[in-house]
Structure 1
Amino acid sequence: MTGGTKEKTTARRRGKPIEVWVTDEEKATITARAKEAGLARSAYLRALGLNTPVKSVVDLGAVTDLVKVNGDLGRVAGLLKLWLAEKRGEGANAVDVETVMMEFRRLQVAIGMKMGDIVKAHK
């Protein structure tokens, strides 16, 4: 044991550094974009310099959020259908209800297609 102190590990250097002069604003933008891609600034700039595709992890987070919204939409539609079945003849007419249900289904399909597009872009 090291007596309660942590040993420092040295960063593994891949080679020689390249100096690039940027403004504070440019550095902040590069840092933000690297973070979106889940990369260190150096790895991000290396990938761009070597023309390697950089994929954003933010989009995959958006897909996860869309999956949750899609599930919520399905649950709301199911609850509406259940409520209307129990209260048949009270309130809304059947044509209006079917129109709302078709809109729920259309929205679910649209969300699914968007999720598919985002996932395909990351392959």
Structure 2
Amino acid sequence: MTSGTKQKTTARRRSKPIEVWVTDEEKAVITDKAKEAGMYRSGYLSALGMNTPIRSVVDLTAVGDLAKVSGDLGRAAGLLKLWLAEKRGEGANPIDVESVMIEFRRLQVAIGMKMGAIVKAHR
């Protein structure tokens, strides 16, 4: 988990604990899900009990990572295009180059659609 992912809220006194009996496996799953949401276990369970939507920090981090990959893909396509413009006629068939450029664009669109679906699911 990256720093700063825990949601900071104003501290308030909670004086009434609720005991929940779970197996070791269930506790591990709850702990993992709370970490994914960037929350403490008690806050996570409290939010679930109050029917508050839980948003996963992990998925939103993945969207950021996908955005970086998409940017890298765009830069690679740009460099390829620049290199080919400077080396016109030296090695690569223009039809093959265009098909690679089309594939780069298709991959960027696919990445963008995945990012949009993840973000939309977290609203």
TM-score range, shorter chain: 0.7 to 0.9
**1:12 shift after superposition:** 4.2
Distance 1:73 1:15 in 2: 53
Q: Which residue of 2 aligns with 1:57?
A: 57
Q: Which residue of 2 aligns with 1:40?
A: 40
**1:15 shift after superposition:** 4.0
Q: Which residue of 2 aligns with 1:122?
A: 122
TM-score of the two chains, using structure 1 as the length reference: 0.85
Moved over 4 A (4+): none
**1:61 shift after superposition:** 0.4
Letter in 1 for 2:56: S
Aligned length: 113
Deviations 1:69-89 (A, max 9, x none): 011000100011011111111
Q: Secondary structure at the match of 1:84?
A: helix
Q: Which residue of 1 aligns with 2:3?
A: none
Unaligned 5+ segments in structure 2 are: 1-10
Deviations 1:89-118 (A, max 9, x none): 121211111000000001111111111111
Distance 1:116 1:15 in 2: 41
Unaligned 5+ segments in structure 1 are: 1-10
Structure 1 vs Structure 2: percent identity of aligned residues?
Answer: 81
| Map 1:94-113 → 2, pairs under 5 A | 94-113=94-113
Q: Which residue of 2 aligns with 1:20?
A: 20
Q: Secondary structure at the match of 1:120?
A: helix
Q: Which residue of 1 aligns with 2:70?
A: 70
For structure 1, which segment, 13-22 or 53-62, has the greater mean C-alpha deviation from structure 2 after superposition? 13-22
Distance 1:66 1:12 in 2: 37
Letter in 2 for 1:44: Y
Q: Secondary structure at the match of 1:79?
A: helix
Distance 2:98 2:120 in 1: 33
Distance 1:57 1:33 in 2: 10
